[in-house]
């Protein structure tokens, strides 16, 4: 039973790590397109102004999921920069 307890502790610490949210700033003079999905073909919901602080909710193949103006969508990660 000791092993089981150890595993539980490990799992919860992994969960905590996963929930650590990364912050980035928009690094695109013309603003950053917030899209409905992680694709350049996805519809644009909004344009996020340059230098806006964003929190990454998820990542997928060079795209990041963020929430801006109460809308959750996807942006190209290369057009943002870490603080």
pLDDT tens readout for residues 69-79: 999 999 999 99
Closest CA to 47 of 69, 64, 62: 69
Instruction: Decide: pTM greater than 0.85.
Output: no
* Contacting residues for 59 by C-beta, under 8 A, at least 6 apart: 65, 77
Tens of pLDDT, residue by residue over 14-71, are 444 455 679 999 999 999 999 999 999 999 999 999 999 999 999 999 999 999 999 9
């Amino acid at each position: 039973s000791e092993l089981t307890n150890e595993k539980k502790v490990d799992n919860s610490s992994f969960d905590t790590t996963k929930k650590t949210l990364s912050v980035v700033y928009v690094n695109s003079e013309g603003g950053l397109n917030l899209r409905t999905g992680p694709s350049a073909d996805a519809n644009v919901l909004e344009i996020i102004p340059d230098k806006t602080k964003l929190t990454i909710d998820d990542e997928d193949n060079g795209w990041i999921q963020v929430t801006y103006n109460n809308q959750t969508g996807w942006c190209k990660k290369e057009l943002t920069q870490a603080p």
